[in-house]
Amino acid sequence: MTIADKLLQVNQVKQDIKTAIETKGVPMTNVAFTEYANKILDISGGGDEYFYYSKAYYTITNNSTLFSNAWQDMEDSETVLFDIPLTLAAPNQDMGQGIIADLYVGTNGQLQALYDACADETIPPPIDSDTRDVYYVNNVATYYWGDISGDVGFPIPLYMFGFFGPDDSVSFIIGDLTPLEMGLGLILAKIATVPIPNNNIVIQQGFEFENENGIIIPNSVTSIGYQAFWRWASNNQPLVIPESVTNIGNYAFSGWSANNQPLVIPDSVTSIEELAFYGWSANNQPLVIPNSVTSIGYGAFSGWIANNQPLVIPESVTSIGEWAFGEWLSVPYVEMKSETPPTLVDNSAFDSQNNAPIYVPDGSVNAYKTATNWVDFAYRIFSINDK
């Protein structure tokens, strides 16, 4: 069978999958074939592409229970728990400790229902960092902290989603201020610098499919929020980041100290923020940074102490933060693809790399050796032709 014939058969099987799924009443987009076969069904890959899709087709058409359960799992991640229209009641309120917040009130009973779910632990607070539930708030992966009133010294319960920081696009605090007799009832507080899009908060059920196929993040998610999957220290499953994601936030996947799975970041991502993948100390897989990423934040990939794979930084990267790739103790070399040296915030970006050579485009050696903060790595910088 020629390659062309094989491709025709693969495409036909893909179409058969779509037909089989939609016959069972579940809409299926063209981009979902690979996801469904690879992440949900009990298929670990081991064969050529034709076999791969054929097995998926066989499973779908012959095992209705597995099919139903798998799709239910995927649909759970799309389940809307709360869809809350809000009205901005008091903008730019000084909350103390340097926090300026906008206060919103609900226009229906949903805000009260969310508050009650937090108060009675229908939405459970995390037991520890390995068991927290991840939710999707306005298409951003985040998590529920629980009651923080003791931490801020407030006399009534305050329940928080996310980090509640100045750069966090989704985090908020809710509380019932009625007992304070200040003329304020149930309110939702949001850092004033980041308004709520359309004055509406949609919270979806989180779902991570943790088996041999890895952790699935739904296609609807556009950003991974602060600490969303932080310190899953025992996890050693593949991480699948969908192409809908454009930003990976601070500490998003940090502390996955047992993980030794390949990490492929989709080419939709443009920004990787501080300590996003810090402390993957067991990882010894190639790191693939797509040619869409423009900035890599402080410590984003630091602490990959077991990794002895070459580190390749694409030409799209224009800014590299402090300690971004620090403690790659065994890296054989670093390869820079850009002819123009990216901005280094300081001279720690490539510290503790056992003086591994940094290869740069042939015509850019002098530019790198003399650029701000790169000059401190001049003794490690060589032409790519010398590799």
User: In the predicted model, is pLDDT for residue 95 greater than 70?
Assistant: yes
What size, in residues, is the chain? 387
Take residue 76 and report the two structure tokens written for it.
Answer: 């759970």
Asked if pLDDT for residue 252 goes beyond 80, the answer is: yes
> Is-above-0.85 flag for pTM?
no
Pick the more confident residue, 190 or 66.
190
Can you state the angle between helices 49-62 and 64-76, rounded to 10 degrees? 100
**Greatest Cα-to-Cα distance within the chain, rounded to the nearest angstrom:** 79
Burial of 150 (0-12, 13-18, 19+ CB in 10 A): exposed
- Give per-residue pLDDT as tens, 186-224: 999 999 888 888 999 999 887 654 544 567 677 788 999
| CATH code matching the domain that covers 208-387, chosen among 1.10.10.10, 3.20.20.70, 3.40.50.1700, 3.80.10.10 | 3.80.10.10
Q: Which of 86-95, 186-195, 232-241, 288-297 has the lowest mean pLDDT?
A: 232-241
Residue 120 has pLDDT above 90, yes or no: yes
Whether residue 89 is predicted with pLDDT greater than 60 in this model: the reply is yes
Query: 28-37, 52-61, 195-204: lowest mean pLDDT where?
Result: 28-37
pLDDT reported for residue 354: 93
Q: What is the mean pLDDT of residues 338-349?
A: 96
β partners of residue 175? 158, 187
Highest averaged pLDDT of the listed ranges 105-119, 164-178, 372-386 = 372-386
Per-domain boundaries in the chain: 3-76, 80-130+144-202, 208-387
Section 15-21 average pLDDT: 69
User: How much is the mean pLDDT over the chain?
Assistant: 83
DSSP one-letter string for 290-341: -TT--EE-TTTTTT-TT--S-EEE-TT--EE-TTTTTT-TT---EEE--SSP
